[in-house]
Amino acid sequence: MTVWRTILISILLATGDAQATALRSDRPTDDSVCDLGSNTSLALMKIRSVPWHTREIDKVHERMLVSWVVHQCHDGQILIIDGANGDDWEHRYAESSALRLCTGADIRQFSKGSSQYPQAFELRCLIRKITSARNWSENQDRLESLDAMIASRAGVLPEGEAVHRSDATNVVDKAADRCSGKSKLASILFGGGTCKTK
């Protein structure tokens, strides 16, 4: 009886702390990882709306990711970044963020490619540089707030169309109007195939 009680208590403790370091609430984990999967880009955009056409979107995501990690995670955890689409900008911000939080020697990237997203990947590394990453994040905020950064880079589509800065849906609607009716929604959102928003 004592053994089963001990097991039950262990399960309850693990469950209670399961979401402490997971960006998505449907990704239960424990304190050994700083889990930003699955689909890190989409999960970040649910925290703060960023239109898909935003210029330097990789740098915007780097700031969002690093800011979240330095407030929620700590040295010694395994950082997990999931590039579900595998676009170039996802690779850029995943790698730059990892280098701010981990040493280069610790960074490992694994292919998660599928027929639809052949370049999809997962990046993992051991967080060792949380203090320097926090200092960088705070310095960036002093130079330009994240809201100001997004607003300054998301105000105009490449074609010169005005959009509401925080209205990502409006951007998707405009992109859909320019694309073939046969284009998939994923092509509009993520820039795949022949339908591009930037």
Domain count of the chain?
Answer: 1
Under DSSP, the state recorded for 144 is S
Is there a domain that residue 1 lies in? no
Is there a domain that residue 104 lies in? yes
Question: ∠ at Cα 69 (100, 128), nearest 5°?
Answer: 50
pTM of the model: 0.66
pLDDT digit string, tens, across residues 138-155:
999 999 999 999 999 987
Q: What is the mean pLDDT of residues 66-79?
A: 96
Is there a domain that residue 14 lies in? no
* Region of residue 51 (phi > 0: left; psi between -120 and 50: alpha; otherwise: beta): beta
pLDDT exceeding 90 applies to what percent of the chain?
Answer: 55
Is there a domain that residue 32 lies in? yes
Alpha helices (H) along the chain: 2-16, 40-47, 57-72, 88-101, 130-143, 146-153, 168-178, 185-190
Q: For residue 57, give its domain range.
A: 20-156
Is there a domain that residue 197 lies in? no
Tell me how far CA of residue 68 lies from CA of 40, 89, 139, in angstroms. 12, 19, 15
Q: What is the mean pLDDT of residues 27-40?
A: 82
Asked if residue 137 has pLDDT above 50, the reply is: yes
Q: What is the mean pLDDT of residues 180-197?
A: 38
pLDDT digit string, tens, across residues 86-125:
999 999 999 999 999 999 999 999 999 899 999 999 999 9
| Beta bridge mates, 125 | 79
Contact call for residues 127 and 69 (beta carbons, < 8 A)? yes
How many of the other CB atoms lie within 10 Å of CB of 166? 15
Is there a domain that residue 81 lies in? yes
Is there a domain that residue 183 lies in? no
**Contacts with 119 (C-beta within 8 Å, 6 or more apart), sequence order:** 83, 85, 86, 87, 91, 113
Is there a domain that residue 149 lies in? yes
Query: What pLDDT, on the 0 to 100 scale, is given for residue 23?
Result: 56
Query: What pLDDT, on the 0 to 100 scale, is given for residue 31?
Result: 85
